[in-house]
């Protein structure tokens, strides 16, 4: 199994500011994923982050709003920019092992409240 | 958007059996996973089916019928700690690691 450290665990931010979330994995992984989970809702994939290339964003998510870095095989950051109350959500990073697609591991999430 | 349908909530008593159904669109489907998430916690993997049939893991089992575009998670001998949200998630292909999640089923276990 993978151990994923995600921080901060929670934050309260002013609208118009940005928050950067960090995700550290205890082993090298090819792909890292960032999800958003709005209160009481399901998980929605924001983007896939591969080391050495630009992240691939899902429909409805853009790089200007959610810039992602992936400097090495164990670390990634997601920034949520120009915050508005609608960005209040839990943000989760996830990884899967480089093996047939079965199990995904998740960080504990970052609970963001925008005021 | 989600292309998986599951009930929004289920309530049962300790020791009971609960079945959570999940139906999905067949386009771009490879396998079905199940995840448990306690309030405020990270989703944790429970089970995965790529082939038809039943996968048993302790008190939890998962079933898939590709011909019916349908799967379920079976929770047996319910315990209070099983109160959580349960999500089905589809994988589009063996080489595509992205997951699409259903809306989740909140299971409440009563004494």
Bigger pLDDT: A36 vs A31: A36
Flag whether residue B44 sits within 8 Å of chain A, measured between CB atoms. yes
Determine the 3-state secondary structure of A108 from DSSP. Answer: coil
Is B42 close to A106, i.e. CB distance below 8 A?
yes
Verify whether the Cβ–Cβ distance A104 to B97 is below 8 Å.
yes
For A17, other C-beta atoms within 10 Å of its C-beta total: 11
Nearest-CA distance from A11 to chain B in Å? Answer: 14
pLDDT of residue B71: 97
Name the token pair of A89: 């959500």
Reported as a single tens digit per residue, the pLDDT across A60-73 is 999 999 999 999 99
Q: Does A41 sit within 8 Å of B103, measured CB to CB?
A: yes
Per-residue model confidence as pLDDT tens digits over B36-64? 999 989 999 999 998 999 999 899 999 99
Q: In which band, very low, low, confident or very high, does the pLDDT at A102 lie, cut at 50, 70 and 90?
A: confident
Q: Comparing C-alpha atoms, which of A86, A93, A80 is closest to residue A24?
A: A93
Give the closest of A31, A42, A109 to B101, CB-based: A42
What is the distance between the alpha carbons of residues A41 and B92, in angstroms, rounded to a whole number?
21
CA atoms in the 13 A half-sphere facing the CB of B25: 10
Q: Which residues contact B62 (CB under 8 A, 6 or more apart)?
A: B32, B34, B46, B47, B48, B49, B54, B55, B71, B72, B73, B74
Q: What is the mean pLDDT of residues A54-59?
A: 94
For the ranges A14-18, A35-39, B47-51, the one whose mean pLDDT is highest? A14-18
């Amino acid at each position: 199994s993978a151990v994923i450290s995600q921080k901060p665990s929670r934050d309260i931010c002013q609208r118009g500011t940005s928050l950067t979330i960090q995700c550290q994995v205890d082993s090298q992984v090819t792909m890292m994923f960032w999800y958003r989970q709005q209160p009481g809702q399901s998980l929605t994939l924001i983007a896939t982050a591969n080391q050495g290339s630009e992240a691939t964003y899902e429909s409805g998510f853009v790089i200007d709003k959610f810039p992602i870095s992936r400097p090495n095989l164990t670390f990634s950051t997601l920034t949520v920019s120009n915050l508005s109350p609608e960005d209040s959500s839990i943000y989760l990073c996830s990884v899967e092992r480089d093996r047939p697609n079965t199990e995904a591991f998740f960080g504990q999430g970052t609970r963001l409240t925008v005021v | 958007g989600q292309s998986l349908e599951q009930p929004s909530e289920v309530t049962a008593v300790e020791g009971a059996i609960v079945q959570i159904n999940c139906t999905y669109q067949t386009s771009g489907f490879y396998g079905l996973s199940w995840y448990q998430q306690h309030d405020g916690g990270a989703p944790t993997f429970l089970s995965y089916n790529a082939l038809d049939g039943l996968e048993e893991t302790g008190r939890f089992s998962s079933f898939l019928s590709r011909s019916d575009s349908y799967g379920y998670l079976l929770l047996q001998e319910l315990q209070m700690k099983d109160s959580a949200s349960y999500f089905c998630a589809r994988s589009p292909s063996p080489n595509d690691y992205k997951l699409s999640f259903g809306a989740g089923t909140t299971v409440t276990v009563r004494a």
